[in-house]
Structure 1
Amino acid sequence: MITHSTPSIKKQVYDRISYLGTVSKADLLQHFALASSSMTRLLEEMTSQGLIIASGLGSSTGGRKPVLFQTRPKYRYLLGLEISRIYSKLGLYDLHLNTLSVIRWEMDAQMTPEHLADYVEGAAADFLAKEGISADQVLGIGIGAVGPLDRKQGIILEPEFFPSPHWKNVPICDMLTARLGIPAKLDNGANTALIGEHWALRNDDIEHALYVHAGINIRSAMMSGGKLIRGAVDTEGAVGQMIIQKDGPRLRGQGNKGALEAFVSVPSLVERVRAQLKTGRSSLLSSFSSDRVNFATLIDALSQGDLLVKEQFAETASYLGIGLANLINTFHPEYVILGGPLVSADPLMFNIALETAKTNIYHYPEYSPVFSHGMLTDEAVATGAAIMVLHEWEGNE
């Protein structure tokens, strides 16, 4: 069962074991204000329940070697769903977040919410049958979706640039709960990606992290003290409205003038290349009609060393670096994760953005965050959505 109440001490201990991977009773006593006898009884109860298992003996400090515990991966299972503008992905995971099955679908004009829900229902049934799992062994399905959202009500509100026009005010949690018979939990994809990446970095004990996704627009998430930072409303794409040029251009006539997304997004990059081609600039794309100049053809031209396209990608990366520096100077994270189609298009995007950001970080190099593509990359959103369900689980039968 998934709840929103304060976790019980048993669930807190379970979460600590899950986060660390393998721990001794002494490790847990350093973190929890429990008597040794109380911790012993709790670990015995959790072992009897099947939540945790003994996984060997640790190193001795002079006495008997301590028993090591870890969570039991096959005790229950999790589903994680990513809903984006380009594709959607469903994964089945055990409680160690091992991927057992995964499938993805293209988000074309025919992919309505109803069709996607039908696909998810069918794929989930196939996953469970393949693994020999019953539906009551699945804790729930986590959903990481493009916003804006009503996270508490489980509704996708009015996302922009979806191929199908039907993705407005979609009660996605109710739809999937009705089809799957399990709880569903919704958050924006940037948040679930950061949840996933933070889990993957758990051995590094990262407390403060920034995630920025550059694609159709700019999406971001922040974490402080190991917890997501949330505003009064879903603000996944708000960073794209950061003004970096007074009275500058607007993206497709919307948003703030001179906003970051007017310089760093797939649509703005395509528009700038088309504009340059109209002036007669030489390029591998010079003979293309305007409608054939799209992100796919830009990627192809970039891979062939087209100087005009490379110039425009580099300019996009520089603006991304400026936006990053503004966020970093405000938040001061330890770890900065960059993702999305623009960043993964070519190494020059990551490298130029990083160097531009470093040049504009206050107190650099004394303060120097780690920059990364992330550990999970394309798997981060769906994996993080599954972890979100695990976090909400009470730890009961």
Structure 2
Amino acid sequence: MVKANPSPANIRKAVYERIAQQDDISKAELMAEFTLTSSSLTRLLEELVHEGWIKESGLGQSTGGRRPILYQVNPAHRYIFGLEISRLYSSLGLFDMKLNTLKHKRWTMDETMTPERLIQYVQEQVEVMLEACHVPKEQVLGVGVGAVGPLNREQGVILNPLYFPAEGWSNVPICWLIEEKTGIPAYLDNGANAALVGEHWALRGENLQHMLYVHVGTGLRSAMMSGGQLVYGAVDMEGSIGQMIIQADGPRLHGTGNYGALEAFASVQALEQQVRAQVKMGRNQLNSADGVQPEALHFAMLVEALRNGEAFVQELFSQSAAQMGIGLANLINILHPEMVILGGALISASGQYYDTAVSVAQKNIYYYPEYQPVFSKGNLQENAVAVGAAVLVLKQLSI
């Protein structure tokens, strides 16, 4: 094993993060990974215990001598909020330093949920959660925000996302607004990145280095990880997967974006658009939509029809899933991840959608079956963004 050799300024944080990855870790295990003398590591561990960042958790198994002291993160030393801002639902969670969920609230993003209303609601929930858990605000490290992109992470601004039900979601200085209302520092990244970070944290014991996350919902969002680190581009890349061309001269979604782009085939918006077009042409094959105006048709109705076994809707979902599989194969053939995690409303709506997308992707993966990435719906699923947003705050930690 190659020992880690961080700079003196980062050694405390590096040791702390290693302890966070594995509860009940011994000094000997840490010595095997860091280029520190025994006395230096002992002194560092004593400092972290004294300051409350870690605690002794018992004694390990003896290897012939005295049983070693084990260390773990002190969960009650500080606390973190993780906030998801999405188009259909948003959520807020309060977490301890082990990322245990202490409180969690999820709500619908309807036409009344403007940025101002959301910030007010978040402030109210922050106060309620802190009081319920008897946590002083001074013990909160920050609010991590995983939001629909595109965005400017450095400035903490949500730029011009599409398809929000409410107005006003353009050039929103979300971090500044949260800090002003709550008095707690805020950190921003896109929701796909946050979800991937959350799922990676949940799987930290598996030491995965190369991962792909794809959210299939109102829009298509993706994030990738290489060498255990998020991959960033020159601009926010969250929604770029939706513009992948999978059919030359194909349709566009709502008359915008690339012709033949993946989002025109495999998204909630695409499915709604296809059904509405059929109804407008008098070919209403959706039994549950009798008497419903085309523009009133929405995804929840399609999901209900799918679960009722309506053949027309089943066919639409199957076609969408197959096109999603092609898009996944394209990404996999470029990135070659160890694991591919799929989330979002379409994945949650139907197990068959997930199965079809994975099956089509596998048939189009180069080197398959010698190379077989693991496909998963994730451990955290709908909580992945909020948990990942909290992990983003941990990554900002200076101890």
TM norm structure 2: 0.95
Q: CA deviation at 1:304?
A: 0.8
After TM superposition, the structure 1 = structure 2 runs for residues 332-343 of structure 1, keeping only pairs within 5 Å, are 332-343=336-347
1:307 aligns with 2:311: yes
Residue of structure 2 equivalent to 1:244: 246
Residue of structure 2 equivalent to 1:124: 126
Residue of structure 2 equivalent to 1:21: 23
Q: Structure 1 residue aligned with 2:283, among 271, 280, 285?
A: 280
1:325 aligns with 2:320: no
In 2, distance between residues paired with 1:136 and 1:164? 33
SS of match in other structure, 1:280: coil
Code of the aligned partner of 1:346? S
Residue of structure 2 equivalent to 1:106: 108
In 1, distance between residues paired with 2:363 and 2:351? 18
SS of match in other structure, 2:248: coil
SS of match in other structure, 2:287: coil
**What runs of 5+ residues in structure 2 fail to find an aligned partner?**
1-6
Residue of structure 2 equivalent to 1:50: 52
Change (3 A) 1:6 1:103: farther
1:226 aligns with 2:228: yes
- C-alpha contact (below 8 Å) 1:281/1:308 kept by paired residues: no
CA RMSD of aligned residues (A): 1.5
In 2, distance between residues paired with 1:219 and 1:255? 15
In 2, distance between residues paired with 1:195 and 1:111? 27
- C-alpha contact (below 8 Å) 2:276/2:295 kept by paired residues: no
Residue of structure 1 equivalent to 2:62: 60
Code of the aligned partner of 2:336? H
Code of the aligned partner of 2:187? K
**What runs of 5+ residues in structure 1 fail to find an aligned partner?**
none
After TM superposition, the structure 1 = structure 2 runs for residues 94-243 of structure 1, keeping only pairs within 5 Å, are 94-243=96-245
- C-alpha contact (below 8 Å) 1:7/1:394 kept by paired residues: no
Residue of structure 2 equivalent to 1:77: 79
In 2, distance between residues paired with 1:286 and 1:109? 23
Code of the aligned partner of 1:223? M
In 1, distance between residues paired with 2:278 and 2:116? 41
Change (3 A) 1:6 1:32: closer
In 2, distance between residues paired with 1:47 and 1:183? 25
SS of match in other structure, 1:8: helix
In 1, distance between residues paired with 2:270 and 2:150? 21
Code of the aligned partner of 1:218? L
- C-alpha contact (below 8 Å) 1:77/1:92 kept by paired residues: yes
Q: Percent identity?
A: 54
Q: CA deviation at 1:280?
A: 3.0
- C-alpha contact (below 8 Å) 1:89/1:104 kept by paired residues: yes
Q: CA deviation at 1:53?
A: 0.7
Q: Which segment drifts farther, 50-59 or 89-98?
A: 50-59
Residue of structure 2 equivalent to 1:394: 398
Higher relative contact order (CA 8 A, sep 6+): 1
Q: CA deviation at 1:237?
A: 0.2
Q: CA deviation at 1:274?
A: 3.1
Residue of structure 2 equivalent to 1:262: 264
Superposed CA deviations along residues 8-41 of structure 1, whole A, max 9, x for unmatched, are: 2111100110112221111111211111111111
- C-alpha contact (below 8 Å) 2:60/2:67 kept by paired residues: yes
Q: CA deviation at 1:155?
A: 0.5
Code of the aligned partner of 2:274? R
SS of match in other structure, 1:64: coil
- C-alpha contact (below 8 Å) 1:239/1:260 kept by paired residues: yes
Residue of structure 1 equivalent to 2:3: none
After TM superposition, the structure 1 = structure 2 runs for residues 283-298 of structure 1, keeping only pairs within 5 Å, are 283-285=286-288, 287=290, 288-298=292-302
Q: CA deviation at 1:292?
A: 3.6
Q: Which segment drifts farther, 202-211 or 286-295?
A: 286-295
In 2, distance between residues paired with 1:137 and 1:209? 33
Residue of structure 1 equivalent to 2:4: none
Code of the aligned partner of 1:391? K
- C-alpha contact (below 8 Å) 2:289/2:297 kept by paired residues: no
